[in-house]
Structure formats: structure tokens, C-alpha cells
């Protein structure tokens, strides 16, 4: 009875902690999206400089990551040669900077709800790029699911009251760059046995992003900011916004580290629905029935994709356990045969 009670208590504690990590991640992700929209939107804070905002985030995150890794030594840096850094981390940093730049730019033109609907295309982009780069095998069933998600997003776009072509191009570009980055992490780092948690990832990648963003910033936004002499850097707004962005990376570390990446995908769907509801009720964005029908269809496709992924992961784990058990059995058999052969040899000598 005692043992059963302890087990139930342990399981309950694990469930409560998992839900707490999910809730923290949803809250911080929600905060960063709404906060970025508030800063960049011309009708709200009216600071439409996405490259500058992204650079502030990257500068802040680089500094804090450096302090955590090098000064406080709270996280161990990954052993990495300059060759690996240039061939793997730098391309990932370039893709990340482009993804952040374009996704932040989209907030100027599109509503929060519609951006979340377009983000439902992420599994489609990841799978398609994975197949093109020969990271994933082509499966007609998975591709049919990807098409259903795309149709759903297409219907949602058709029903969008404030459709802006340039905003859609920016957001789709951000999805493509982010999906390519995720696939490249698998090809360039994970395949070599290197895993970066969000802190070490920021430590290595954020300075790269800052460097890459500096060049377009010089030509695109710096001349405008220079002319706008009335602007005064608001340390409270930009400091708290950057802190939220950094805290979100820590929340990702907790969520993926203590649960799984799949849990984050499922939690992401919940977050998207909450953002759509918030966008409609608080920001007063127009959300049409066609919007919701299209996104609902895409949502079902994403849900099925996550379910298929979970099923594949379980099958892989079961196969791995069976293989380990077979190897262990083979090893024991070899040991026994060795012992019996040794016994026979000693008997023959006697």
C-alpha cells in the first residue's frame, strides 16, 4: 500500500511539473508574440524597426548567455572546433537571423491571429525540406496530411479580413527559413553527436545573428533611425521585452529537457488557439468564420502529424529495447559458451 501510494505521488508530481513547464512556456511565448506586436505595430507603440528589435534581442541574449556560460559557469560550453563552428553554427545563425527578421517584420502588416494560422505550415515546410535534403523519406500518407494542412491554411487566408500580400510573403519566408534551420540542425549538428540546449545555442548562435543582421540594418533601418532624432531608447520597454525573449529560451530548455519536443509541439497548438482568442477579444482583430474553419482543418492535420510522430517514436523506442535485449541475450550466451568451453578444457587437462 505504501509503495503504491509513493508511486502515485511520484507520478502525480511528474504530471504537475510537466503541466507547469507547459504553462510557463505558453505564457512566455504568448508574452513575446504580443509584446513584439505591440512594439512594431504602427497603431500601438509605433516602432516599426524589426531588424533593430531583433538585434536588441540578440545582443541582450548574447550577453546573458556569455555571463551564464563563461562567468558564472552554470552551463558547460560544448567542445567545438573553429572548422565545425564555421561549417555548422554560422549557416544555422544566418538562417535564424533571416527567420527572426522576417517573422518580426510580418507583425507590422498582419494580425496576431492570422500569423499564428500561417505558422501552422511549419510541419509542411520541415517535412518538405527534410525530403528535399534527403533527411526524411518520402511517404505518400504524410504528404497527403501536409496537403490537408496547406488547404486549411489556404482557406484561413481566403477568409482573412485584413489580408496583406507583403505580410504573407514575409511570414511564409520566415516559416521556410525556420524550417530549413531546424532541418540543418539535424544534419549539421545532431548527426555529429552535438546537441545544443537553448543557453549554449544562444551562446554560439546569437552573436552570429547579431553579425548577420548588422549589414541589412546599416542600409535599411539605420538611416531612418538617424533622421528620427525624436526617438529616445526606452530601457523599460526594450529591456523587459528582451528579458521575455531570453526567459522564453529558458522555458524551452525546461520544457524540452523535462518533457519532450513533441510536448512543445502539442502545447504550441494550445498557445495558437489562445492567441487567436486573445487577438479577437482584446486586440479586436477581425476573426471570420472562414478563418476559423480553415485553421480548424489545418489544426486537425497538425494534430494527426503529432500523433503519427508519437507513434513512430514509440515504435522506434520499442525496436531499440528489443535490439538491446537481443544483444544482451547474445552476450550472455557467448559468456556461457566461453565458460563451458573453459570447463571442458580444464577437464581434458585433468
Q: What is the per-residue pLDDT across 27-78, written as a single tens digit (0 to 9) for each?
A: 999 999 999 999 999 888 999 999 999 999 999 999 999 999 999 988 888 8
Q: Which cell is 134 given?
A: 534527403
pLDDT for res 349: 58
pLDDT for res 62: 94
pLDDT for res 245: 92
pLDDT for res 350: 56
Residues of the chain predicted below pLDDT 50: 1-5
Q: What is the pLDDT of residues 228-251, one digit of tens each?
A: 766 678 999 999 999 999 999 888
pLDDT for res 203: 92
What is this structure's pTM? 0.84
Amino acid at each position: 500500500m505504501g509503495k503504491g501510494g509513493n508511486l502515485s505521488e511520484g507520478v502525480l508530481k511528474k504530471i504537475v511539473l510537466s503541466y507547469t513547464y507547459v504553462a510557463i512556456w505558453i505564457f512566455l511565448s504568448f508574452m513575446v508574440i504580443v509584446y513584439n506586436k505591440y512594439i512594431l505595430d504602427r497603431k500601438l507603440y509605433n516602432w516599426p524597426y524589426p531588424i533593430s528589435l531583433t538585434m536588441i534581442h540578440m545582443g541582450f541574449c548574447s550577453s546573458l548567455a556569455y555571463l551564464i556560460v563563461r562567468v558564472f559557469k552554470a552551463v558547460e560550453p560544448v567542445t567545438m572546433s573553429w572548422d565545425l563552428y564555421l561549417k555548422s553554427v554560422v549557416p544555422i545563425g544566418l538562417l535564424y537571423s533571416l527567420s527572426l527578421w522576417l517573422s518580426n517584420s510580418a507583425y507590422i502588416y498582419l494580425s496576431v491571429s492570422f500569423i499564428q494560422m500561417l505558422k501552422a505550415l511549419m510541419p509542411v515546410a520541415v517535412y518538405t525540406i527534410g525530403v528535399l535534403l534527403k533527411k526524411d523519406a518520402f511517404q505518400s500518407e504524410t504528404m497527403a496530411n501536409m496537403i490537408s494542412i496547406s488547404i486549411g491554411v489556404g482557406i484561413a487566408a481566403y477568409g482573412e479580413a485584413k489580408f496583406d500580400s507583403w505580410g504573407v510573403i514575409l511570414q511564409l519566408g520566415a516559416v521556410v527559413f525556420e524550417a530549413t534551420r531546424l532541418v540543418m540542425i539535424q544534419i549539421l549538428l545532431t548527426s555529429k553527436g552535438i546537441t545544443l540546449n537553448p543557453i549554449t545555442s544562444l551562446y554560439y548562435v546569437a552573436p552570429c545573428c547579431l553579425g548577420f543582421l548588422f549589414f541589412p540594418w546599416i542600409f535599411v533601418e539605420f538611416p531612418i533611425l538617424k533622421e528620427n532624432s525624436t526617438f529616445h531608447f526606452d530601457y523599460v520597454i526594450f529591456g523587459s521585452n528582451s528579458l521575455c525573449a531570453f526567459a522564453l529560451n529558458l522555458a524551452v530548455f525546461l520544457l524540452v529537457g523535462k518533457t519532450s519536443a513533441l510536448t512543445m509541439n502539442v502545447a504550441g497548438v494550445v498557445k495558437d488557439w489562445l492567441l487567436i482568442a486573445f487577438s479577437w477579444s482584446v486586440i479586436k482583430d477581425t476573426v471570420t468564420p472562414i478563418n476559423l474553419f480553415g485553421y480548424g482543418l489545418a489544426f486537425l492535420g497538425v494534430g494527426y502529424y503529432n500523433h503519427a510522430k508519437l507513434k513512430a517514436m514509440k515504435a522506434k523506442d520499442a525496436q531499440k529495447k528489443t535490439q538491446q535485449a537481443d544483444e544482451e541475450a547474445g552476450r550472455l550466451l557467448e559468456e556461457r559458451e566461453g565458460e563451458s568451453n573453459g570447463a571442458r578444457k580444464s577437464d581434458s587437462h585433468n
